[in-house]
C-alpha cells in the first residue's frame, strides 16, 4: 500500500481559463488561414462559404454541449476513450485510441508542424520546403520538415517537465492568437470594399463548383450534397480538437464543472472567429481571388489587401503563433489517451507510468516519434483528408453513447446533462452519419483508407489481449 501511495500522480493544476485556452488553442491552427479556398471551389458562392462554416460550427457546438454530460460523469484522464469504453466495450474504445495514435492526433501534429515551418519560411527563406537538405533514395528531406520536427521535439520536451510549462505556453500563445485574429477581423471590416462585397453576395446561394480558371459547373441534387460534404472536410478539420480538454480532465481543478464549460466557451469563441474571418475574406477578396490564392493561403491574400505589402509578414507571424500554440495543445492532451489505454492493458505498458512531474512521459515521446515520421513521409496531407471522416465516426458513436448510458446507468451522477436532449444529440448523429456516407460516396480514395486504418486495430486489439492474458496466467502460475 505504501508503495502505491508513493507513485507519481497527475496534478490538478488546470483552471477553467486554462481549459478554454486549450480547447480554442488546439482548434485554431492553420486551417482557417487556408481551407476557405478549397471550400469556395466546392460550393462556388459567398453564401455557401459562410454556411459551411456555420453548419460546422453548429455541429461542433452541439457535440461539445452533448459531451458535457459525459465529461461530468467520467471526470478523469482519457476523455473520449473512457466514454466509449463505458458506453460500449474496450474494443470500441481501443479502435478510437488506435486511430487517435495512428492518424488523428499524430497526423494533425505533423501537419500543423509543417504549416509552422512553411510560414516561418516567409521570414527566413532558408527554412523553405523547396530547400532540400539531403535525399535518401526517393525520400527528400527539406528544411521545412526538419524545422517542424524540431518544433515537435521541443514542445514534447517542455510537456514532459510537467503540466505547468505546457499550460503556460498554451494560455499565453492562445490569448495572443485570439487577440491577433480579432485584430485581423476588426481591421478587415474597416478595409471592406463595397464593390467586391456586392459582387460576392449577388447570387450568394447559387451552389456550384468554381474552378481556378473561372469555369462554373452546375450541380445536380446528388452532386450538390457531395460538394457540401467535400467542402466540410476542411472546416471540420479546422474545428477539430474541441474535445482536447476531456483528455486532461484528470488534471483539471474542478473537472465535473470546468471540462464542460471549457468545451462550450472554447467552441463558441472559435466558431465566432471562423465565421467572421470568412466574412472579412468575402469583403476584401473576390471569389476568383479566394479560389486562386497562392497555395490556398487566403489569409495571406486578404492580409495584403488589409495591411498592404507588410501584410504577408503580419499573417506569417500570426500563423506561426497560431500553429505553435495549436501544436502545444495537441501534444499536451494526446498522451493522456495513451496513458489511459495502457492502464487498461491495451497499449504499451510503459505508457501507463507517470514521471516525477506527474505526466505520461513515454506516451509523449512515442507520440513525438510517430508525428515526426509523418512529417518526413510527405504523406501527412493525405492523412488529413482521412481525419475528418474518422473523427466524425467516433463523435457519432460517442454521442450515441449518451443514449446508451442513460439506459445502462440511469442513476449515475450527471452534474451536467446534454442540452436539449434528445433533440440536439440526435440531430448531430443524423448530420454526422450523412456526412460520413457522402464522403464514402464522393471521396472514397481517402475515406476507405481511413476506415481501413480503423479496422486494422481489430486484430491488434485481440493480439494485445492475448498477450495480457498470457502475462496474467504466468503471474498466477508463479
Can you give the pLDDT at residue 58? 93
Q: Please state, in angstroms and rounded to a whole number, the distance separating the CA atoms of residues 112 and 155.
A: 13
pLDDT at 63 over 80: yes
The pLDDT of residue 334 is: 81
Q: Greater confidence, 276 or 234?
A: 276
What distance lies between CA 222 and its chain's CA centroid? 28
Q: Comparing 444 with 408, which gets the higher pLDDT?
A: 408
Pull the grid cell for residue 473.
Answer: 496466467
> Which pLDDT belongs to residue 378?
61
The tens digit of pLDDT for each residue in 366-377 reads 999 999 988 887
| pLDDT recorded at residue 471 | 66
Asked if the model's pLDDT at residue 312 lies above 50, the reply is: yes
Residue of 336, 327, 266, 229 whose CA lies nearest to 63: 266
More confident residue, 1 or 401: 401
Q: In this predicted structure, what is the pLDDT of residue 8?
A: 66
Q: Report the distance separating Cα 274 and Cα 181, nearest Å.
A: 9
Mean pLDDT of 163-183: 81
347 pLDDT band, cuts 50/70/90, is: confident
- Distance, CA of 81 to CA of 94 (rounded, Å): 7
pLDDT for the residue 6: 56
pTM to 2 decimal places: 0.84
Is the pLDDT score of 158 beyond 70?
Answer: yes
> Residue 2's pLDDT is what?
42
In tens, the pLDDT along 127-150 reads 887 788 887 877 788 888 899 999
Q: Helix/strand/coil (H, E, C) string of the chain?
A: CHHHHCCCCCCCCECHHHHHHHHHHHHCCCHHHHCHHHHHHHHCCHHHHHHHHHHHHHHHHHHHHHHHHHHHHCCCCCCHHHHHHHHCCHHHHHHHHHHHHHHHHHHHHHHHHHHHHHHHHHHCHHHCCCCEEEEECCEEEEHHHHHHHHHHHHHHHHHHCCHHHHHHHHHHHHHHHHHHHHHHHHHHHHCCCHHHHHHHCCCCCCCEEECCCCCEEECCHHHHHHHHHHHHHHHHHHCCCCCHHHHCHHHECCHHHHHHHHHHHHHHHHHHHHHHHHHHHHHHCCHHHHHCCHHHCHHHHHHHHHHHHHHHHHHHHHHHHHHHHHHHHHHHHHHHHHHHHHHCCCCCHHHHCCCCCCCCHHHHHHHHHHHHHHHHHCCHHHHHHHHHHHHHHHHHHHHHHHHHHHHHCCCCCCCCCCCCCCHHHHHHHHHHHHHHHHHHHHCHHHHHHHHHHHHHHHHHHHHHHHHHHHHHHHHHHC
pLDDT at site 3: 44
pLDDT band at 470 (very low <50, low <70, confident <90, very high): low
Report the candidate in 112, 166, 160, 165 with the shortest Cα–Cα distance to residue 364.
160
Q: Among 32-36, 172-176, 232-236, 284-288, which range has the highest average pLDDT?
A: 284-288
Q: Is residue 422 reached through a cis peptide bond, with omega within 30 degrees of 0 on the bond before it?
A: yes
Q: What cell was used for 432?
A: 454526422
Q: How high is the pLDDT of residue 154?
A: 93
Rounded to whole angstroms, the Cα distance separating 217 from 208 reads 6
| Whole-number percent of the chain with pLDDT over 90 | 33
pLDDT of residue 311: 77
What's the confidence (pLDDT) of residue 464?
Answer: 80
Q: Among 205-209, 332-336, 390-394, which stretch is predicted with the lowest mean pLDDT? A: 332-336
CA 311, CA 113: separation in Å to the nearest integer? 22
Half-sphere exposure of 235 (CA within 13 A, CB side): 32
Beta bridge partners of 252: 14
Res. 320: pLDDT tops 60: yes
Q: What is the mean pLDDT of residues 322-327?
A: 86
The confidence score (pLDDT) of residue 1 equals 39
Q: What integer is the mean pLDDT of 43-69?
A: 92
Place of cell 443524423: 430
More confidently predicted of 13 and 415:
415
Q: What's the mean pLDDT in 37-60?
A: 94
pLDDT of residue 288: 94
C-alpha distance from residue 114 to each of 44, 285, 394, 459 (Å) = 28, 26, 26, 32
Lowest mean pLDDT among 96-100, 150-154, 460-464: 460-464
- How far CA 104 is from CA of 14, 68, 96, 129, 262, in Å, comes to 24, 22, 9, 23, 21
Tens-place pLDDT, residues 215-272: 888 888 878 888 898 888 889 888 887 887 777 777 788 877 888 888 899 999 999 9
Whether the per-residue pLDDT at 98 is higher than 80: the answer is yes
Average pLDDT over residues 301-322: 85
Amino acid at each position: 500500500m505504501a508503495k502505491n501511495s508513493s507513485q507519481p500522480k497527475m496534478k490538478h493544476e488546470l483552471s477553467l481559463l486554462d481549459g478554454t485556452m486549450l480547447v480554442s488553442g488546439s482548434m485554431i491552427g492553420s486551417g482557417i488561414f487556408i481551407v476557405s479556398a478549397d471550400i469556395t471551389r466546392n460550393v462556388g458562392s459567398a453564401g455557401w462559404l459562410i454556411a459551411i462554416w456555420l453548419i460546422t460550427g453548429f455541429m461542433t457546438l452541439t457535440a461539445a454541449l452533448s459531451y458535457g454530460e459525459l465529461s461530468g460523469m467520467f471526470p478523469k484522464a482519457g476523455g473520449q476513450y473512457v466514454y466509449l469504453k463505458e458506453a460500449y466495450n474496450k474494443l470500441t474504445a481501443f479502435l478510437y485510441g488506435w486511430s487517435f495514435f495512428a492518424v488523428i492526433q499524430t497526423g494533425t501534429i505533423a501537419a500543423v508542424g509543417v504549416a509552422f515551418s512553411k510560414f516561418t519560411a516567409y521570414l527566413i527563406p532558408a527554412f523553405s520546403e523547396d530547400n532540400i537538405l539531403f535525399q535518401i533514395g526517393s525520400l527528400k528531406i527539406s528544411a521545412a520538415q526538419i524545422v517542424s520536427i524540431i518544433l515537435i521535439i521541443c514542445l514534447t520536451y517542455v510537456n514532459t517537465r510537467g503540466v505547468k510549462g505546457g499550460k503556460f505556453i498554451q494560455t499565453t500563445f492562445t490569448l495572443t492568437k485570439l487577440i491577433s485574429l480579432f485584430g485581423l477581423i476588426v481591421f478587415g471590416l474597416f478595409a471592406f470594399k463595397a464593390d467586391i462585397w456586392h459582387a460576392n453576395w449577388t447570387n450568394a446561394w447559387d451552389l456550384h463548383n468554381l474552378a481556378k480558371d473561372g469555369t462554373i459547373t452546375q450541380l445536380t441534387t446528388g452532386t450538390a450534397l457531395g460538394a457540401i460534404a467535400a467542402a466540410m472536410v476542411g472546416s471540420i478539420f479546422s474545428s477539430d480538437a474541441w474535445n482536447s480538454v476531456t483528455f486532461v480532465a484528470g488534471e483539471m481543478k474542478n473537472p465535473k464543472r470546468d471540462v464542460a464549460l471549457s468545451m462550450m466557451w472554447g467552441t463558441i469563441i472559435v466558431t465566432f472567429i471562423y465565421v467572421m474571418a470568412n466574412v472579412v475574406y468575402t469583403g476584401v477578396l473576390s471569389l476568383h481571388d479566394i479560389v486562386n490564392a497562392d497555395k490556398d493561403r487566403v489569409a495571406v491574400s486578404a492580409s495584403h489587401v488589409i495591411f498592404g505589402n507588410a501584410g504577408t509578414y503580419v499573417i506569417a507571424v500570426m500563423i506561426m503563433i497560431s500553429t505553435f500554440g495549436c501544436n502545444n495543445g495537441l501534444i499536451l492532451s494526446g498522451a493522456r489517451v495513451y496513458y489511459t489505454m495502457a492502464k487498461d492493458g491495451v497499449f504499451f505498458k510503459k505508457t501507463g507510468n507517470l514521471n516525477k512531474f506527474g505526466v505520461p512521459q513515454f506516451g509523449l515521446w512515442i507520440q513525438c516519434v510517430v508525428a515526426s515520421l509523418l512529417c518526413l513521409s510527405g504523406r501527412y496531407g493525405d492523412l488529413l483528408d482521412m481525419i475528418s471522416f474518422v473523427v466524425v465516426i467516433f463523435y457519432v458513436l460517442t454521442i450515441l453513447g449518451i443514449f446508451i448510458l442513460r439506459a445502462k446507468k440511469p442513476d449515475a451522477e450527471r452534474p451536467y446533462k446534454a442540452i436539449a436532449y434528445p433533440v440536439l444529440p440526435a440531430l448531430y448523429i443524423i448530420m454526422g452519419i450523412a456526412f460520413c456516407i457522402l464522403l464514402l460516396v464522393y471521396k472514397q480514395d481517402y475515406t476507405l483508407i481511413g476506415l481501413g486504418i480503423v479496422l486494422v486495430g481489430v486484430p491488434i486489439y485481440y493480439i494485445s489481449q492475448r498477450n495480457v492474458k498470457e502475462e496474467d496466467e504466468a503471474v498466477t502460475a508463479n
